Chain A
């Protein structure tokens, strides 16, 4: 299973963290520091796997962002690379050629998408369209709720005039 997902920028800034195994806050900070030291220093031509504390970290760099997933020893590393790519493609479709800034300002959206893709450290959906459909359906739910709220507050505002 996937124990955690990290998105780290080339400067070592954390852009997204998702923990599927229990790590305390202290451990989380330590893990992030350890792994960014390990991964960011690796050269471009090397393999995408790093052994770490008896587990294995699969990472892939897209532009300035490193996508890292930590898995068990006997999981399929090559498949994890595909899952990372799968996530990136869905993000790309959602944001329309995604860049790091999109993920910074809309970090919650990145989480929502990830939650439609992975659950309990396992892959949930292999169809990109399905994921996109589910996320946008929920987004529109939020929009309608907002419109209702604003229309109500307008009514209240007018009533109190």
Chain B
């Protein structure tokens, strides 16, 4: 051994590490080696630098930190010998990535090596640059790489070509410098250069339309010829794979042709013959051949339409689909998915086979097939396909059920021809895989049931039956409990029987039994139990004969450890005992849930859920907020997400819900906005959960979170109920509200007229020396998100404005519909009006905002006025 050597050889270190029996031993060996390497680094040991770096790379691969070796890479690269540089560049690529600052230090060495006299050193530098270069390095070194595209040795040219790909991906602006040299690479004979040249052209086309046009113009014929020569070439041992000459080059040529042919009929025409030849001649018994066929089919589908070729392509896919090899079937499904956009009829023909693939034993294939089936479904075939999928749900793997359930639910919702079918299918899914059904899906089901007044009876009976056979599916239990609570009487009396139904006999106590089962199930979570409690409360008024028993069940939850349930049980009990007179009204059937609002919310739920950190996670149609997100729920089963909360008719609306006829027919409306506190009082009044003062503004109950900003109607109610001791609370927004007392003081209060109202003051949205624009606001009842704005433009000058045009732009969470103006001529000192409709998807969270532009002509001279309107009333 060399007397200067320190430490062990690489091979010995690897052997020592492999000999370790435990992870701890391995760590010890690595620690020792690392210490030795660090020592060598600090001594600046030159002889063993490359060996140390090699060791470090191995240690790095095992997952240990090796950042202290980064500078060693740079030193090795900067040294003059080839062996040092070779290891140095390898270390650079392995230990560093493009985001590390250290990398900047290597730019200069790279530049020198790219100009080195030894071509292998140039090769090393190109390789490192191609694998890790950053945008800055790309800019600095692009001229060198460009020059090397014409280097005498083909092996450098091919490396330079791939390096250029990295450069133009990092800095697309540099693309135009590479177009000409890339085109000349296409004329090469050397396979490596040709492959990389074609690849470079492909990537150039992706970043630059100029390049695409250029290659389409100049190179299409050449490429077709190259491919033909390749396809007809005799046996070439160096490039032969399973009897085909260079499948890699075949595939790259086909890929580039796809890009050139896309959207250009002439170029596509030019390729037809060779594509047909490839598609028919290539042997499909080996993977290499299939890879080419697969690419060829993709190209045929991608370029401009040629009927004959498309038929050929779809036939190949059909053959693939019936292949025994899973890989081939997988790519067939993948390609059929792309073909859907081109020729959905042809894909539909393979429906049966695809459906079989959904049941394959291979998860990748199942997933792909399911995605494809999802695309295949349309109005005409939704019924049989859904039937198949639901049948398969029974036998599928547990881990596949989630995806499958998602897709079925989404299909059923999207294409359901009638409500009864929708309800039937959802019921099957719920009974089969209710635990996999997402919250918003069963919420949607409840909304649909609520809207189908003729199916209330049918639904509740079907759910009751399903519930009898399977109590293990959480979301089935929830929906069933909700429906029994709402429509329990229809269950008992067989109201609204359909012809297809068999009558069932359910007694009052059977129905209560069902809810009791739900509440006592061990697996029921708090949401289900809370829903069951509400259902019981509702049943208590619907089934007077069972009311004692119901009271018992409710009381059992008084001892619940969950605050929410305990509180509910105590409060409901209080209602049952002390408030017989209002109970019936309190637990009336819910008003029909508004489908449009619900689906709107759902569609917008992604962005909003991000912004509402304190809000409830999901919208719940029955007013039960998720326990973790919001402990408060509302007694009245009212949730603003689904129930319309109109501001103009807010009074009547809330009154209806309470069923308390305390107010005069129309309450006078005030112009002043009541303080937030009143909303909180009500919140606490209506919802039974405790709302701590800290939460007062965003406090949990969904119902109020959206009404909250329309505080006017709520204040109204405050007045209506005239809870005089509370008016003190009402002035202090954060004061805690005495929850239980409220109910006690409920019945006897005299009433007092409160002056308030939801009318919004009109507003001067824009004013200049020559023009004033004012807005008047109104709301449609039942649609709090939408504001009608009447804009009035007043000409303040003595000139006539011709070609008057008002334009407005709003941010994404708003939707704007602009009607045409009453006239496009604004007379001197006169006015015109224009109405518009703004829908605020973030209603209650964000205020309206609008950017406006007004253009008109005075004496044929264009005038443009622009501005932004920020002073909208807050709760629009």
Partner-B contacts on A (CB < 8 A): 14-20, 22-25, 29, 45-51, 76-79, 81-83, 86, 104-105, 107-108, 111-112, 115, 119-120, 122-130, 134, 137-138, 141-142, 145-146, 153
Contact = CB atoms under 8 A, between A and B. Distances in A.
Given A51-B364, A126-B249, A127-B239, A77 B330 contact: yes
Given A51-B368, A86-B248, A124-B162, 16 more contacts: A17-B61, A22-B98, A45-B362, A47-B364, A77-B334, A78-B294, A78-B331, A81-B327, A105-B14, A107-B58, A122-B165, A122-B199, A130-B192, A138-B86, A141-B120, A142-B83
Contacts of B730: none
A88 B87 CA distance: 22
Contacts of A112: 86, 90
B124 to A, nearest CB: 8
11 contacts: A17-B61, A46-B326, A48-B327, A76-B255, A82-B247, A86-B248, A111-B90, A123-B196, A127-B192, A141-B83, A145-B83
A43 to B, nearest CB: 8
Interface string B469-487: 0000000000000000000
Interface residues of chain B: helix, strand, loop or mixed (majority): helix
A97 B243 CA distance: 23
Given A78-B290, A107-B57, A123-B195, A128 B238 contact: yes
A16 B61 contact: yes
B76 to A, nearest CB: 13
B615 interface: no
Contacts of A129: 238
Nearest to A134: B155
Contact of B162 (A16, A82, A120, A145): A120
Contacts of B82: 138, 141-142, 145
Nearest to B191: A126
Contact of B326 (A29, A45, A124, A127): A45
A81 B58 CA distance: 27
Interface string B110-127: 000000000010010011
Given A16-B61, A20-B131, A120 B165 contact: yes
A124 B159 contact: yes
B contact residues, range: 35 or more
Contacts of A142: 82-83, 86
B163 A120 contact: yes
A108 to B, nearest CB: 6
Contacts of B93: 18, 115
B364 A46 contact: yes
A108 B87 contact: yes
B288 interface: yes
Given A19-B97, A120-B162, A123-B195, A78 B287 contact: yes
A15 B57 CA distance: 11
Interface in B72-129: 81-83, 86-87, 90, 93-94, 97-99, 120, 123, 126-127
B158 A49 contact: no
A51 B366 CA distance: 12
B163 A49 contact: no
B97 A119 contact: no
Q: What 4 A-B pairs are tightest by C-beta distance, nearest first?
A: A78-B291, A47-B326, A120-B130, A119-B162
A23 B98 CA distance: 9
A145 B85 CA distance: 12
B384 interface: no
A19 B98 CA distance: 11
Given A49-B364, A83-B248, A108-B57, A122 B162 contact: yes
B680 to A, nearest CB: 45
